[in-house]
Amino acid sequence: MSANDWIQIVVYLAVLLLLVKPVGSYMALVFAESPNKVTRFGARIERVVYRVAGVEPGEEMGWKKYALAMLLFNVLGMVAVYVLQRVQQWLPLNPEHFAAVTPDSAMNTAVSFASNTNWQGYGGESTMSYLTQAVGLSVQNFLSAATGIAVLVAVIRGFSRRGVKVLGNFWVDLTRTTLYILLPLSLVISLLLVSQGVVQNVLPYEHATTVQATSYDEPVKDADGNPVVDAAGKPVVRHVSTQEQVLPMGPAASQVAIKMLGTNGGGFFNANSAHPYENPTPFSNFIEMLAIFLIPAGLCYTFGAMVGDRRQGWAILATMLVIFVPLTFGLVAAEQAGNPALHGLAIDAHASALQSGGNMEGKETRFGIASSGLFAAITTAASCGAVNAMHDSLTPLGGLVPMWLMQLGEVIFGGVGSGLYGMLAFAVVAVFIAGLMVGRTPEYLGKKIEAHEMKMASLAVLLPCALVVICTAIAVMTPAGVAGVANPGAHGFSEILYAVSSASNNNGSAFGGLSVNTPFWNVLLAICMYFARYPLAIAMLAMAGSLAAKRHVPESAGTLPTHTPLFVVLLASVVIVVGALTFLPALALGPIAEQLMSATGH
């Protein structure tokens, strides 16, 4: 690793940590039980929203009602986005006259954007009208993020409230999240991005004539959009030459801001944050990376503030960093070291004044190794899924890191709200084992962890794992599943494993290399996304419901402290052990085999 790599990572982490407290304490005010300067500020707008929606803001909901409201709201959102995609050809703001999206792709996208996954089987600039993007997808970017935060807030109330059955009002939490957190922050980020050159308009696409004719190979696709392969299994290509370049336009900046802030990750353009109109400069790249972690990191502080012990929040944040930082350095180091298969050849892969060195395949030269590697780690640690480099082109070990970060259950920062409540499920499991080891019925934040909590927490921890291994098995066993694989062998297996891991943990980033806009993949991944998001959230709400009803156990010297470095190490170990034990065999057949083979020259 070069000094440049080190500096970029350290500066990023330092700026992030400086922002945790201000953002976190602001969010704590938003969700405070009593009115304060923040909630008074928007009280009038809130009242109007509630009156229009017919919501009684004072009404507190039990966990079942809260979960039902959340689920209903999200299903309605899915239906709306589905319908919008299917009828976009008849609606305005469609200058490129895109046709209706296919049913399977529309369904996949609807689930994807509602579940905060933002897996994209489609290419934005060649599929979606401006209206669909702005009213369907952008709105869902806000609402899916707000849903995650609302569920988290209810879960935190489960810990902080004592002897009550209610967790708050879903509609109020949703409204406040959107109004006080997501809207203002996206406005700031959008403006910053626009200043860097991110486009924001509703113009038709620009057509430019290039000086030089460009020729390239285009894969031949059949009527269903699947790539055609020849007898040897290689994709059939057609040689094309053109002097026309189409420059896509659109309201990108507003969507990019919330795509990052809400850990959504769905790019306005197909190339996502690698596209120069979505992420033009190193500074915009830095802003985007910061936007991804801003809310998940801040929520840790909010959590501490809401449960009345800020150290608890810092401990959770420390746990996330303990896993995130080494993996990030590992990823960047692997990329900087370059492809092991090329070692010993007459290739200079060292960083110098003239080149970044290392493995630059699939990376943007304006970002280089560090900013691409860091982005890849951030986007997969958080369940964002935006990419500024092609993960398929990472070195085997470099590719292992993003894949594994997702497989850990998206709890290392994770999705806004969902990452932290996932981490709290891990904390409950960790506390349970640790509590036994100190000889007391385990308790976390003064609440006794008993059979019901254990059932829900282990469900939340294991559900994504189960989805990944089962759906990967389904994919590799079905011809439709393996048909989309671009590279056979261990790397092809990695591509499938990555796609399923991404969907089953609501990340949404794509390894690439796998053609997924097929009915099989659209349906399989939609199932993954749906089940990873909602049953897990409901399990956590159920746990919160039972926790809220419990009385608070006072702390004593016999109570296991959950804010110490020891607990941080323990919690990190539990997260890593569950992730490692579940996925090690599968990873051995993918990236690990690939790495070992490249290293030995196969």
CB of 486 to other proteins, least distance (A): 12
Estimate to the nearest angstrom the gap between the alpha carbon of 49 and the chain centroid. Answer: 29
Q: How far is the CB of 448 from other proteins (least distance, A)?
A: 9
User: Quick one: which segment of 65-73, 90-98, 289-297, 586-594 binds other proteins (CB under 8 A)?
Assistant: 586-594
* Nearest CB to other proteins, comparing residues 182 and 490: 490
Nearest alpha carbon to residue 186 among 91, 335, 285, 295: 295
Count other Cβ atoms within 10 Å, centred on residue 96. 16
CB 67 within 8 A of CB 546: no
| Of 98-106, 245-253, 534-542, 551-559: span binding other proteins (CB under 8 A) | 551-559
Of the two residues 295 and 586, which places its CB atom closer to other proteins in the complex? Answer: 586
Helix (H, G, I), strand (E, B) or coil at 98: coil
Asked if residues 506 and 410 have their Cβ atoms less than 8 Å apart, the reply is yes
Decide if residue 602 touches other proteins (CB under 8 A).
yes
Parallel, antiparallel or unpaired: strands 166-168 and 61-62: antiparallel
Of 112, 132, 131, residue with least CA distance to 120: 112
Which pair of tokens denotes residue 361? Answer: 């395949």
Residues 421-440 that bind other proteins (CB under 8 A): 429, 432-440
Is the Cβ of residue 435 or residue 512 nearer to other proteins in the bound state? 435
C-beta of 361: minimal distance to other proteins in Å?
22
User: Does 72 contact other proteins by CB under 8 A?
Assistant: no
Q: Does 486 bind other proteins (CB under 8 A)?
A: no
Collapsing DSSP to helix, strand or coil, 221 comes out as strand
Closest approach of other proteins to the CB of residue 572, in Å = 12
Cα dist from 354 to 348, 349, 366, whole Å: 11, 11, 13
Cα separation of the two ends of the chain:
25
By CB under 8 A, residue 323 contacts other proteins: no
Among 47, 311, 343, 551, interactor with other proteins by CB under 8 A: 551
Amino acid in position 403:
M
488 touches 525 (CB < 8 A): no
- Report if residue 466 touches other proteins, rule: CB under 8 A: yes
Q: Is 229 in the site for other proteins (CB under 8 A)?
A: no
Binds other proteins by CB under 8 A, chosen from 257, 459, 536, 548: 459
Shortest CA distance to 281 belongs to which of 192, 366, 371?
A: 366
Decide: is 234 part of the binding site for other proteins (CB under 8 A).
no
Name which of residues 501 to 530 contact other proteins (CB under 8 A): none
Nearer to other proteins, 305 or 592 (CB): 592
Pairing type for strands 443-444 and 447-448 reads: antiparallel
Q: Interacting stretch for other proteins, rule CB under 8 A, among 4-12, 95-103, 330-338, 580-588?
A: 580-588
- Give 106 or 337: the residue with its C-beta nearer to other proteins: 337
- Answer for which of 150, 570, 571, 575 binds other proteins (CB under 8 A) is 570
Which one of 182-190, 341-349, 410-418, 465-473 is the stretch in contact with other proteins (CB under 8 A)?
A: 465-473
The secondary element (H helix, E strand) that includes residue 245 is strand 237-247
- Alpha carbons 256 and 530: distance in angstroms, whole number: 23
- Contact between 209 and other proteins by CB under 8 A: the answer reads no
Backbone φ and ψ of 90, nearest 5°: -95, -5
Residues from 377 through 396 that contact other proteins (CB under 8 A): none
CB neighbour list of residue 171: distance below 8 Å, 6 or more residues apart: 50, 53, 55, 57, 69
Measure Cα distances from 47 to 55, 145, 551 in Å. 9, 22, 34
536 forms part of the interface with other proteins (CB under 8 A): no
Q: Does 586 bind other proteins (CB under 8 A)?
A: yes
From 52-60, 126-134, 378-386, 484-492, give the range in contact with other proteins by CB under 8 A: 484-492
Contact 340, 598 (CB under 8 A): yes
Helix (H) or strand (E) run with residue 41 in it: helix 37-41
Among 104, 458, 523, 549, binds other proteins (CB under 8 A): 458
Cβ-contact 332, 1 below 8 angstroms: yes
Instruction: Return the ∠ at Cα 518 (arms to 227 and 275), rounded to 5°.
Output: 75
- Residue 164 interacts with other proteins (CB under 8 A): yes or no: no
Q: With respect to other proteins, which residue has the nearer C-beta, 68 or 164?
A: 164
Looking only at the bridges linking them, the beta strands covering 237-247 and 443-444 are unpaired
The reply to whether 564 sits near other proteins by the rule CB under 8 A is yes
Binding residue for other proteins, selected from 394, 465, 532, 539, defined by CB under 8 A: 465
Is the Cβ–Cβ distance between 88 and 131 less than 8 Å?
yes
Examine residue 554 and tell whether it contacts other proteins (CB under 8 A): yes
Note whether 132 and 90 are within 8 A (CB).
no
Kindly state the smallest distance separating residue 451's Cβ from other proteins, in Å: 4
Write out the E strands in 86-177. 166-168
Residue 476 binds other proteins, judged by CB under 8 A: yes
Helix (H, G, I), strand (E, B) or coil at 554: coil
**What value does the CA radius of gyration of the chain take, rounded to a whole number of Å?**
24
Establish if 449 lies at the interface with other proteins (CB under 8 A): yes
* Residue with Cβ nearer other proteins (109 or 595): 595
With residue 217 as reference, give the H or E element that holds it: strand 206-219
* 581 near other proteins, rule: CB under 8 A: yes
User: Which of the ranges 19-27, 117-125, 524-532, 582-590 carries the binding residues for other proteins, by CB under 8 A?
Assistant: 582-590
Q: How many residues lie near other proteins (CB under 8 A)? A: 67
Stretch that binds other proteins, among 110-118, 174-182, 418-426, 481-489 (CB under 8 A): 481-489
Are the CB atoms for 379 and 509 separated by under 8 Å?
yes
Say whether residue 341 binds other proteins (CB under 8 A): no
Considering only residues 349, 482, 486, 523, which one is a binding residue for other proteins as defined by CB under 8 A?
Answer: 482
Among 13, 131, 454, 527, the residue binding other proteins under the rule CB under 8 A is 454
Residue ranges that bind other proteins, judged by CB under 8 A: 429, 432-441, 449-451, 453-455, 458-459, 461-462, 465-466, 469-470, 472-473, 476-477, 482, 488-490, 492-493, 551-554, 556-561, 564, 566, 570, 573, 577-578, 580-586, 588-589, 592-593, 596-597, 599-600, 602
